[in-house]
Structure 1
């Protein structure tokens, strides 16, 4: 794993230590944590709205304007700009299900060590399903990477 990615993940683990609800790393960083090889432009943190609000306050971040993405959006979204990797904080991620929006909360949660810290990811099969459901080309590519690696998780 790239040292910049590891440093950012360690910072996320430290920032999420007071979290009251489960949280996960998803997206490309989760693919890497689950044994896949892909580029990681930023780190996506999925958490509850209340933990996202507390994190934004603690880090002194600005909440982004509501996203109008046609497939997914968060009730609260903020970007933690770091020198090593930006961290995108998604409080209560929702996915489009026809005309309705459904909360997307993973059912699986696996601990992954990063140096002396711990971060959490959905299980590999669930991460594949999440990426597939996102439906973008880059997400389908990452799902395929996880399907082909046979990495544990």
Structure 2
């Protein structure tokens, strides 16, 4: 469902987080949602197309997105992050993977960062669950 709805995106997009780890074939559990990383423009169009809900809860001091929403129609919720950034020592840094690998699921292609890029991203996120997941892709 994600691949079909993201196919019209103008910019590159990626699945990140635990779903990306699973798409790479590593045993990660549980995969509770799918994190979809897109440009802000594409995320806004995507969210309008799927009719997903906007942000709920307080903003994070560690992460921010120009566009954020959750699409609940698929079997797993899809968290859409457009213009995603990470708080770093030198200010907010955009999160944009350097690589993009296709993973086929049925007759659709999903895109993920390479294993080294995914691991670096998880390490940069720095939360306990991200650091644990980074060990899975070592």
Whether these two folds match at TM > 0.5 is yes
How much has 1:84 moved relative to structure 2? 1.2
Q: Which runs of 5+ in 2 are unaligned?
A: none
Question: Which has the larger helix fraction?
Answer: 1
Matched, 1:111 2:99: no
Count of residue correspondences: 137
Whole-Å separation in 2 of the counterparts to 1:65 and 1:51: 20
Matched, 1:101 2:92: yes
Matched, 1:34 2:24: yes
Q: TM-score, normalised by structure 2?
A: 0.94
Q: What CA RMSD, in Å, does the superposition of the two structures yield over aligned residues?
A: 1.4
Q: TM-score, normalised by structure 1?
A: 0.85
Whole-Å separation in 2 of the counterparts to 1:73 and 1:127: 18
Secondary structure, aligned partner of 1:36: coil
Whole-Å separation in 1 of the counterparts to 2:32 and 2:114: 21
How much has 1:65 moved relative to structure 2? 5.3
Conserved? CA contact 1:36–1:145, under 8 Å: yes
How much has 1:100 moved relative to structure 2? 1.4
Conserved? CA contact 2:37–2:80, under 8 Å: yes
Match of 1:126 in 2: 117
Secondary structure, aligned partner of 1:25: strand
Secondary structure, aligned partner of 1:85: coil
